[in-house]
């Protein structure tokens, strides 16, 4: 098993795990309950971390790197309610309509 991600926040690690799940990569979450051991263990060793099988390491790192970059492009206008939305949104937060390219 290879460690592909670790962070002080369990929330960040859970998000990274969701990114891997969406990419079809199975991962194992470790150290999610070690926060109480801080001080007894080295800090980085107690942080939550994600591990994947050795053969999936490159794909996992690529998926995590891709998730770290925000989508670019022009803002778009919802065809249902005329709400202005930023390019990272694929559906309207106001009415739920899906993005439709022109």
Whole-angstrom distance, CA of residue 3 vs CA of residue 82:
44
What local confidence, expressed as pLDDT, does residue 33 receive? 85
Specify the pLDDT at position 27: 97
Amino acid 102: pLDDT: 58
Whether the Cβ atoms of residue 87 and residue 51 lie closer than 8 Å to each other: no
Q: Set out the domains of the chain in order of their start, with CATH numbers.
A: 2-67 (3.30.70), 71-102 (no CATH)
Q: How far apart are alpha carbons 27 and 29 in whole angstroms?
A: 7
Q: Which residues pair with 38 in a beta bridge?
A: 41
Whole-angstrom distance, CA of residue 34 vs CA of residue 31: 5
- Supply the pTM of this predicted model: 0.66
CA distances (Å), 46 to each of 14, 15, 30, 36, 50, in order?
15, 18, 9, 9, 12
From first to last of its 102 residues, the chain has per-residue pLDDT tens of: 999 999 999 999 999 999 999 999 999 999 888 777 767 777 788 899 999 999 999 999 999 998 877 777 899 999 999 999 998 888 999 999 998 775
């Amino acid at each position: 098993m290879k460690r592909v991600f670790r962070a002080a926040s369990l929330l960040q690690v859970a998000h990274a795990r969701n990114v891997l799940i969406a990419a079809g990569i199975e991962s194992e979450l470790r150290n999610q309950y070690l926060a109480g051991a801080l001080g007894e263990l080295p800090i980085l060793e107690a942080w939550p971390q994600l591990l994947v099988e050795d053969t999936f390491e490159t794909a996992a790192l690529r998926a995590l790197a891709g998730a770290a970059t925000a989508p670019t492009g022009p803002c778009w206008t919802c065809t249902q309610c005329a709400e202005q939305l930023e390019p990272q949104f694929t559906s309207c937060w106001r009415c739920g309509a899906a993005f439709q390219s022109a």
